[in-house]
A and B are shown apart, each in its own frame.
Chain A
Amino acid sequence: AQTVTQSQPEMSVQEAETVTLSCTYDTSENNYYLFWYKQPPSRQMILVIRQEAYKQQNATENRFSVNFQKAAKSFSLKISDSQLGDTAMYFCAFMKPYNQGGKLIFGQGTELSVKP
């Protein structure tokens, strides 16, 4: 079975600085998707960034980028120029392809605080 591990329950960063959230996963599959989701106090899940396992190039979305190391099964999220609005819970998630069930498995979450 797939597992996702986030080893940092809490992180804090000063506004405008850079922070990296860690995520490792375990799977025997070769084709899958990885995601980082943000969950603010409203608890609405917001997609931050996604990565297809077959793509070697790391995904980037504005201030958010990932370091995807497929062999090491590592998928870290870097937030540059942190903003107060980035304060939230962040979840790393693994998803099988739809034809294999499409199930989303989440890590334990990292609570990020951006301090002024």
Chain B
Amino acid sequence: GAVVSQHPSWVICKSGTSVKIECRSLDFQATTMFWYRQFPKQSLMLMATSNEGSKATYEQGVEKDKFLINHASLTLSTLTVTSAHPEDSSFYICTPLSQGATEAFFGQGTRLTVV
């Protein structure tokens, strides 16, 4: 299967600071990137979709100014949580998709804790 690298795997930050999460597709080109958020004991909820070189499309209820997504290359996408608050504490997962893909591959996830 395809190899996806997501970093960091966990991060603790102070309230009000920003955190950047990186997602790399190591052996394929990700024309599309999905970012999911998962709270404990809950399902994965789609936050946003981005296509390489284009602005991200955010799901209803997701603040685009808080969750900045950059997908400037076919192998790297970043999610920046700006002015983080404790309620942003969650598990974030990236899912890059190559053109014509018939299945998805996942990053290892990032556990964000805002204190």
Contacts and interface: CB of A to CB of B under 8 A. Distances in A.
| Interface range for B | 20 to 34
Interface string A44-83: 1101001010000000000000000000000000000000
B61 interface: no
A91 B44 CA distance: 9
Contacts of A101: 32, 49
B43 A45 contact: no
Contact of A109 (B1, B42, B103, B106): B42
Contacts of A109: 41-43
B104 A104 contact: yes
Contacts of A97: 102
Contacts, number: 54
Contact of A45 (B41, B42, B93): B93
Interface string B21-38: 000000000001010001
Contacts of B46: 103-105
A106 B44 contact: yes
Interface string A102-116: 111111110100000
Given A91-B43, A106-B43, A109-B43, A98 B109 contact: no
Interface in B60-111: 91, 93, 95, 97, 99-104, 106, 108-109, 111
B88 to A, nearest CB: 17
A103 B49 contact: yes
Nearest to A37: B106
Contact of A98 (B1, B42, B91, B97): B97
19 contacts: A33-B102, A33-B103, A43-B108, A43-B111, A44-B109, A91-B43, A91-B44, A95-B103, A95-B104, A97-B102, A98-B100, A98-B102, A99-B100, A101-B32, A103-B34, A104-B34, A104-B46, A109-B43, A111-B41
Top 6 A-B pairs ranked by shortest CB distance? A45-B106, A106-B43, A106-B44, A102-B97, A108-B43, A43-B109
